[in-house]
Amino acid sequence: MSTRIGTVFGQELRQARRNLWVILATAVLGLFALALALFGAGQGSDLKVDVLTLTAVSLATLSVYLIPLIALLMSYDSISGEVERGSLALTFATPVRRWEVFVGKFLAQTVAVCVAILIAFGTVGCIIGFLAEISGDGVLAWLRLMLSAGGLGAIFVGIGLMLSALTGRTARAAAAAVGVWLLLVVLYDVALLGAIMAAGEGIFATHVFPWLVIANPADAFRLYNLAMIDAAPVAGIDGLSQTLPFPPVAALAALGLWLVATIAIGSARTKRIVP
Amino acid sequence: MTAILAINALCLSFGGQKVLDDVSLSVQPGERLALLGHNGAGKSTLFKTVLGFLRPSSGTVAVAGHAPGSNAAREAVNYLPEVVSFQRNLSGREVLSYFSGLRGTPKAEVSDLLARVGLLDAADRAVGAYSKGMRQRLGLAQALIGAPRLLLLDEPTSGLDPVSRHEFYEVIADAAARGSAVLLSSHGLEEVQDKTDRIAILARGRLKAEGTLAELAQEAGLPTTIRISAKPGAADDLHGEFGGRRINGCRLDLDCAQGAKVDLLARLGQHQDRLRDIEICPPGLTDIYRHFSRMGPTEDQI
Ligand SMILES: Nc1ncnc2c1ncn2[C@@H]1O[C@H](COP(=O)(O)OP(=O)(O)OP(=O)(O)O)[C@@H](O)[C@H]1O
Ligand SMILES: [Mg+2]
């Protein structure tokens, strides 16, 4: 089993490298992080927070948009493309189990996303360390950001692969990926804000709303990062992070559930593919 | 001897359309069975059913005694699809290492296989830059990984030059000699004639005939055609005497059952003065193939 998953993993990682995905993702994430760091450095002296913490907060907000996008782009074509080109038929004719193919691809692309995040955010974190005063809290916030960003990337790789397996056609998988990104990253927040405005103070605001927020992996990620930073200057939905009815770690559990669900659905669906 | 592949009364439909209809076949270890049939006859569909990709509507398939697509069946089967496609940016060697990894066979085999299909020089180039024939060779190498018990080759020689074609069949014969059962489909009648052991003919999803070429020829009972070129003006007389088909002013084709050949020739001998030439054409492969793929209850409607 392990050699077969390892084989799929190795091949997939090689692909990600040769398609320049890792380099591209690293460059994009690094440039955005650097821009936010410079912006934060300009502001830092006014607020009573160190630049690293400040940048971690703004980067968490930006990562919610970027990382799902990168992860979905990397994964949406992975299974449907191979179905269309016909190369998956050869793989499925070998003794490899279908779920091993799914998990191998998932692991490889997750590693690719995580490597990009580690290099990009790690480098920018070091640059900030050289240029500005940093605090222990800031370093912690930064490490939390990198790790949870990796988790967010993993979930959206899982979602992308799941959509790829569900649709089995590249064009449909692309449409589904764009739809999911819009829904989870943009529209969900708008809908929640509308709901909380309409409902006002009450049971909904205190007991339903927080759970709805962490039900979405993108929001759960942001909530976790902001809730862990006391001094974070936040507004809107994120203001919730100061008045949670559960510990911020619960948001991580929500991320874990998403991960398990996408892998389970994706693997089960891969079994049904007719290559 | 137990069959590696045993197909029994297999039926399969796409939507309402019956694509395989009551097909029964078996292939023994070391045997090469060629599957012939027109475009859309159901050959590729049969392969995909044996691989477990498609589910039969009725009937059974057993691969080394196991259900198609089961883990044990996939251990036993190697497959070369009709259109070979690999990830473009991998090299030939990487492709083979990948499949060798999936089958859990030693990586040392890879160079051997590359040499066996004549790809050693191109081994480290990207597959995307391979020619069609080179991809086909890589596909065959991939299908030979780990001494397969059943080789499923869907049109393995399509798009190959005559020399490569010959080499392909040598490699396949090698594999069969080492005990692999081979089921291959083809549109090349001549090549399957002496490169395979048995022939099965599929038409519109039905198995029309199965056996060695000699058996098929006998079963078809096709007439030998005797072509006569008559001297000027004599064709009409001969036509009157022997019947047959007039081709042009001086040519006449006579159909003659297997046993009646000598008799007919003796009778023709009496008209020696009217004949310029006699040509004897025994039924060819194409005739046998056409006979079997045409006949059947639906023939009248076509
Ligand atoms: N996925 C599918 N959905 C619906 N019909 C299909 C599908 N695949 C094949 N068919 C139909 O099944 C029949 C048999 O197709 P198949 O590909 O098995 O033919 P074949 O014998 O391999 O032909 P060829 O010599 O052209 O490769 C055809 O009529 C085809 O239209
Ligand atoms: Mg075919």
Report the alpha-carbon angle B216-B222-B228, nearest 5: 140
A123 to chain B, any CB pair closer than 8 A? The answer is: no
Q: What is the pLDDT of residues B159-177, one digit of tens each?
A: 899 999 999 999 999 999 9
Residue B136 distance to chain A (closest CA, Å)? 13
Beta-carbon separation of A95 and B90 below 8 A: no
What CA–CA distances, in Å, run from A6 to B98, B107, B233?
10, 14, 82
A87 contacts in chain B (CB < 8 Å):
85-87
pLDDT of residue A249 exceeding 90: no
Beta-carbon separation of B103 and A95 below 8 A: yes
What per-residue string of b and e applies to A21-37 under the rule 16 or more CB within 10 Å gives b? bbeebbeebbebbbebb
Q: Is B39 in the pocket of ligand 1 (CB under 6 A)?
A: yes
The CA A83 to ligand 2 mean position distance, Å, reads: 17
Q: Which of A91-105, A228-242, B286-300 has the highest mean pLDDT?
A: A91-105
Output Rg (C-alpha) for chain B, integer angstroms. 24
The average pLDDT across B255-265 equals 84
* Cα nearest neighbour of A273 on chain B: B53
pLDDT of residue B273 exceeding 60: yes
Per-residue pLDDT at A174: 97
Interface test with A, best of B102, B107, B110, B183 (most A CBs within 10 A): B102
What pLDDT band is residue A230 in, cutting at 50, 70 and 90? Answer: low
CB pairs under 8 A between A and B: 68
What pLDDT band is residue A131 in, cutting at 50, 70 and 90? Answer: confident
- Chain-wide mean pLDDT for chain A? 89
Per-residue pLDDT at A234: 55
Query: How many C-beta neighbours within 10 Å does residue B257 have?
Result: 12
* Cα nearest neighbour of B87 on chain A: A87
Per-residue pLDDT at B297: 45
The average pLDDT across B291-297 equals 71
What pLDDT band is residue B300 in, cutting at 50, 70 and 90? Answer: very low
Q: How far apart are CA A6 and CA B245, in angstroms?
A: 69
The average pLDDT across B293-298 equals 61
Model pTM above 0.80:
yes
Sign of the CA dihedral running A159, A34, A136, A231: negative
Q: How far apart are CA B207 and CA A103, in angstroms?
A: 41
A1 to chain B, any CB pair closer than 8 A? The answer is: no
Beta-carbon separation of B87 and A93 below 8 A: no
Query: Amino acid identity, residue B152?
Result: L
> Tokens 């939905």 — which residue?
A237
* Cα nearest neighbour of A100 on chain B: B102
Per-residue pLDDT at B299: 44
ipTM > 0.85, yes or no: yes
pLDDT of residue B105 exceeding 90: yes
Per-residue pLDDT at A236: 55
